[in-house]
Amino acid sequence: MEEETKRLKILAYKMRKEIIQMTNKAKSGHPGGSLSCIDILTCLYFNVLRHNPENPEWEERDFFILSKGHASPAFYSVLSYSGYFEKDELKSFRQLNSRLQGHPEKGTLKGVEITTGSLGQGLSIANGIALGLKLKKSTARVYCLLGDGELQEGQLWEAIQSAGHRKIDNLCVILDRNRLQIDGFVEDLKKEEPLEDKLKSFLFNVLRIDGHNFNSILDAFNIASKTRSKPTFIIADTIKGKGVSFMENNVKFHGVPPDDEETETALREIDEELRKMERE
């Protein structure tokens, strides 16, 4: 395993442990979709995104918008490991008076650009930020992570239409395509394919990747950064609950935390995978 992808994968698996422990301790939260997007966020925060935990309001920073705000356990883990706050604070997830509530809230925690949680709104906000950066002639970029159940929101398609029409090429949208939402499989509720054709018709540069292959993720972000006159939409095919055998493709864990026994099993599996990676 090449050094950079090994480093990122180890980091992602360490943060998988945090996701399991946070949601178990809180007896609340969304572990499945957090585990499916943690590899993407790890690549973004530890290889791609221009950001500075010592100066979160740095004018030249890139922006990240977590439109699927319920994946906050993954987001908080990445922020903590990046240095925005101490890792020990992760234990306060969803506790009374904690800064780490179920959905990220701007103004309470450094590194959170926008309050999210009401699905469908994140891309509209990302469009506005990206257009503002263009007006300032800034080289900063905007990244927005969506969930595939979220694609059922009408506002999201209005934002997609606007981004393509306005050629917002400093915008990169990532879809965590794990194919499950709280009520079951996305395609059983509202069919979304053929997604690539739809998005191309809205004038996007569309990339489809394995959302757990670190080289593919990094390559896609690199292509996005070089694309001109079009926004980029990365469809990242992922697995809900990735990294924990009994959580994978299990709709139960969309919004239900693991119990104590499940947590013990999950942590053991993740530790085994970490030891394997560290030996490679």
In whole angstroms, give the CA distance from residue 44 to residue 34. 15
- With CA atoms as reference, report the closest residue to 243 among 219, 216, 217, 211: 211
**DSSP, residue by residue, 200-228:** HHTT-EEEEEETT-HHHHHHHHHHHHH--
DSSP letter assigned to residue 242: T
- Residue 267 sits in a domain of what CATH number? 3.40.50.970
State residue 1's pLDDT score. 55
Q: Which amino acid is at 32?
A: G
Question: Which structure tokens are listed for 185?
Answer: 């499989």
**Cα 255 from Cα 271, distance rounded (Å):** 23
Q: Compute CA distances 132 → 51, 59, 114, 125, 140, whole Å.
A: 18, 12, 15, 11, 10
Instruction: Give the whole-angstrom CA distance, residue 104 versus residue 125.
Output: 15
Residue 126 and residue 171 in contact, taking contact as beta carbons nearer than 8 Å: yes
Say if residues 55 and 201 touch (Cβ distance below 8 Å): no
pLDDT score of 280: 83
Distance CA 230, CA 165 (A): 9
SS3 content of the chain, % helix, strand, coil (to 5): 50, 10, 40
CB neighbours of residue 268 within 10 Å: 11
Read off the amino acid at residue 251.
Answer: V
126 and 63 Cβ atoms separated by less than 8 Å: yes
pLDDT at 218: 98
Domain count, the chain: 1
Burial class (CB in 10 A: 0-12, 13-18, 19+), 143: buried
Q: What pLDDT is attached to residue 183? A: 93
The per-residue pLDDT string of the chain (280 residues; one tens digit each, 9 = 90 and over) reads 599 999 999 999 999 999 999 999 999 999 999 999 999 999 999 999 999 999 999 999 999 999 999 999 999 999 999 999 999 999 999 999 999 999 999 999 999 999 999 999 999 999 999 999 999 999 999 999 999 999 999 999 999 999 999 999 999 999 999 999 999 999 999 999 999 999 999 999 999 999 999 999 999 999 999 999 999 999 999 999 999 999 999 999 999 999 999 999 999 999 999 999 988 8
Q: Which domain range does residue 31 map to?
A: 3-279
